[in-house]
Structure 1
């Protein structure tokens, strides 16, 4: 099944290819607008296509609707294949580099015959790129850094991309008569922020049937290896997927083993050895070289049975990173982790007044449809000109609009008025305290001057948190996974300052950010720093990202008590006001 996300990616690719060809700007924009229209659509995408309602979306005309229908129905689009045929296959690699858009790629290709990342690297190193009009030495240096960063992250994919593809693989097998048990495994099952290969585990009595059916999955580019117990394929999105087939009685051992992490598995095997047992991906059995008679091995039908046999409470996959979970499981001190259903509201969302794609009313309706009880709106401030940031006047107009909407909710829903306020270079804020004090909350974020030295950047953010109007710190490191490194910052000092200033730290749930990183949250929790899981939603569909934020929070050992948006509205109001006295 072709997903909405894959269709959006296709439309964006067509737009880029048309720009490379030098096509009419209106034609290019038509595909971009169609992609945006699908991004803001929050209904059932397969039904939208099957019932031929695509043209009802503003931004999608009949010609593009037919192309979408062809792609969704067949998994291919002849028009796209024809466009791709006009350029070298490797040229598309260049779009993966930060700071390189279609216009510059067109110049590089036509002027320097650059058709791949390898060509570009050579042209940067020998000075040809620096000599091009509109490029220069600084651009060449930045491109080399982007190439180096891409190499460092080669073979990695965002959790969101991996999760969507895995769901389609699982759906492919749903209802298959020979599937006894099925699960994802590996880093995806542990909800790591980036994923390598997709690991699928199936228990069956008929391995050949499962293997043959797997290679019929429509999104396979080619089969890399095929055997009775393991088959590897390359998918059209560039990911590799490995299917492992086991017997039903082997499933709990294989699931634990292939979920990992490696260090967690080593600890499990060590506990098995102390009981005179050996543990591998197929069984828990007596250790042949054990000096003492082994303890009796209990019946094991599930992963939970395996952990119990090893004297441990069950460890959920998100915690299996060798960060103390074994000791906590042994002592019966594993936390009850936060769940998506615990969220009563959220903060940090944008509207079409700045760089969002939906109106204030539409965003509120989308949040209500998810069962949330409140929403904190926070459009960009005036210095974020690239995001069409609000002036003081427009911000206060939005506050009034929020008050009018709240009056119509009859207490069943509530919008908190806020702003995502830029932290300026010196640590001051983009709006005066007089303006900010009229809001319910303020998310303070860095959006410019990202390359400051570590101490200067740390001091900048601490000064912002010292302002009593600042409620929470937004995406603290500014990272964009697989594309932009975090700014240089001392996160330990930031967390200490958050505790001292009673500032909430955001866990930005956008799967490109997942910032602050899960590895820092236990330390923040120990210091009493509250977390707010925020979607940074720029469309109604953006609220779906809350799931990724919850997964990151779970990896950080957070419970519902650690997350402010698990609180009812009356309690949240107290938290938002606590810095202002």
Structure 2
């Protein structure tokens, strides 16, 4: 059991205890322990009870529960609570903004036990009549339900890649060639079908082999002699395995990777890409583009005609790569809600070959995340000064902060405190329900603040979980251009925000983009791979990537910007 799995089970136990109105003190014990252990770097599964009780929020009883989870993968108390809870009530936990208490009220007062029941109760106005709800809450629930229905059967980029690689390794034991294709190869941020190509000269035997593999569940009505369709047990996303001969695999890899609008693009000779793919004697991807009379497009960008408009100004080699990144600027540590110290995070960055690490812990208003007040900012910066003394000229820690953008658009500190940072990432974290006018106005004021260096996750979205607040992207990007503010590509696969469709417009306006992992631990730093993928999808080139600047270039940038603020 991983730490995350143990914490998830403890947190779910606490939530269900609250739902069933059990002892408040015991409920808080579970929820507090889950909160504290989520930040722990200890290997919970391998700690004995006498070591577990030394961790914050863990008493002897809870330590026993953790041992039970680690040894059995289950918790008896949680199993009993789940047995008392309708599965439809469990589904309501996925609705953003609907807390445990409100779910309990809906269940007990209206007898709502399924998502369809909840939707009907909202549509008939019954939810609005409950004390503590009202029309506003009812409308928000309906909007959240609509969003969830749209996202059903999809997974994020990271889960899709994990599943695709799992299937690839499984299939490679039985077939000579297996290729990941479709949405996963195209680096779609949300995936509804994980597709792989399987090379075989005997489709009948291949299909029998696929149906003999463990955990593969075929949907026979949707399958065909050359296409196995179904699911991998435990994953809520479609799987498509296409059987091809050796002569057709390369051709089909190209065809299945590109979206239909891309394949329909016509080159100078009047031939579409799809026609070129089927008629080219050389089935390599470069040869197919050449036969169609079109410039080569990397797999990530094969969505529609945008890539060809982009190719009129740039070349595929201009696109940013992982190797182009020189540092990372939006990261958290144990000073706020991170799991590793500043020193450990910085040293891991050095191991990754990066030359600078920027710490941007939460600001004071984010008290739920251990946000730093002015005194703790000073203490952290003293620690950074000491750490930097130990590095040579080839590495440096920069002093940043992720400042909350408050309701009126102001930043979270006075000017004296803001002036102590090398840079400021300005982000919205609270009061997310806004009209497009309110959200745009709020961001504009933050962008106009001379201390704002980077605009963090501009829409606040959580993919497949929470729709972002609406903003006028052109107005925001234009303002960033005017005030020399960089825009973040939040590389967390939960966010990938700013959306890739706005990257090219930002570059056209002269706005640089920073691929920021929003890392809270070592693994989070590697999320920059997703940021690079989504950056390339949107056409991001190296010279417009802020954290592709060298250490000396970015140090000079920060110094010059602070000097300009001082002159105002």
- The reply to whether TM is greater than 0.5 is yes
- Given candidates 543, 547, 554, the residue that maps to 1:565 is 547
**Is the counterpart of residue 468 in structure 1 residue 468 in structure 2?**
no
Aligned twin of 2:307? 325
Give, in angstroms, the shift of residue 3 of structure 1: 8.8
Aligned twin of 2:154? 156
**Is the counterpart of residue 378 in structure 1 residue 376 in structure 2?**
no
- Given candidates 268, 275, 284, the residue that maps to 1:279 is 275
What does 1:126-525 align with in structure 2 at a 5 Å threshold? 126-174=124-172, 176-180=173-177, 182-215=178-211, 218-220=214-216, 223-225=219-221, 226-235=223-232, 236-267=234-265, 270-271=266-267, 274=270, 279=275, 284-285=278-279, 297-300=280-283, 302-326=284-308, 333-525=315-507
Q: Alpha carbons of 1:149 and 1:278: their partners in 2 closer, same or farther (altered >3 Å)?
A: closer
Deviations 1:308-332 (A, max 9, x none): 3333443211111224324666898
**In structure 1, what is the Cα distance between the partners aligned to 2:219 and 2:76?**
23
Q: Which runs of 5+ in 1 are unaligned?
A: 286-296
Give, in angstroms, the shift of residue 433 of structure 1: 1.7
Once structures 1 and 2 are overlaid, which stretch shifts more, 512-521 or 362-371?
362-371
1:179–1:210 CA contact under 8 A, matched in 2: no
Partner of 2:318: helix, strand, or coil?
A: coil
Give, in angstroms, the shift of residue 494 of structure 1: 1.4
1:17–1:83 CA contact under 8 A, matched in 2: yes
**In structure 1, what is the Cα distance between the partners aligned to 2:250 and 2:125?**
57
Partner of 2:231: helix, strand, or coil?
A: strand
**In structure 2, what is the Cα distance between the partners aligned to 1:8 and 1:185?**
34
**TM-score if structure 2 supplies the norm length?**
0.86
What does 1:32-43 align with in structure 2 at a 5 Å threshold? none
Give, in angstroms, the shift of residue 27 of structure 1: 7.3
1:380–1:387 CA contact under 8 A, matched in 2: yes
Q: Alpha carbons of 1:391 and 1:63: their partners in 2 closer, same or farther (altered >3 Å)?
A: closer
Partner of 2:526: helix, strand, or coil?
A: helix
**In structure 2, what is the Cα distance between the partners aligned to 1:5 and 1:243?**
31
Q: Alpha carbons of 1:85 and 1:199: their partners in 2 closer, same or farther (altered >3 Å)?
A: farther
Once structures 1 and 2 are overlaid, which stretch shifts more, 148-157 or 270-279?
270-279
Q: Which runs of 5+ in 2 are unaligned?
A: none
Q: Alpha carbons of 1:331 and 1:253: their partners in 2 closer, same or farther (altered >3 Å)?
A: farther
2:488–2:498 CA contact under 8 A, matched in 1: yes
Deviations 1:255-276 (A, max 9, x none): 1222221100112xx4598469
Partner of 2:92: helix, strand, or coil?
A: helix
Once structures 1 and 2 are overlaid, which stretch shifts more, 415-424 or 220-229?
220-229
1:312–1:330 CA contact under 8 A, matched in 2: no
Q: Alpha carbons of 1:189 and 1:208: their partners in 2 closer, same or farther (altered >3 Å)?
A: same
Give, in angstroms, the shift of residue 191 of structure 1: 1.2
Aligned twin of 1:291? none
Partner of 1:419: helix, strand, or coil?
A: strand
Once structures 1 and 2 are overlaid, which stretch shifts more, 516-525 or 158-167?
158-167
The size of the alignment, in residue pairs, is 552
Deviations 1:431-481 (A, max 9, x none): 122111111111112233434443443333223222222211111122222
Once structures 1 and 2 are overlaid, which stretch shifts more, 203-212 or 33-42?
33-42
Q: Alpha carbons of 1:12 and 1:428: their partners in 2 closer, same or farther (altered >3 Å)?
A: closer
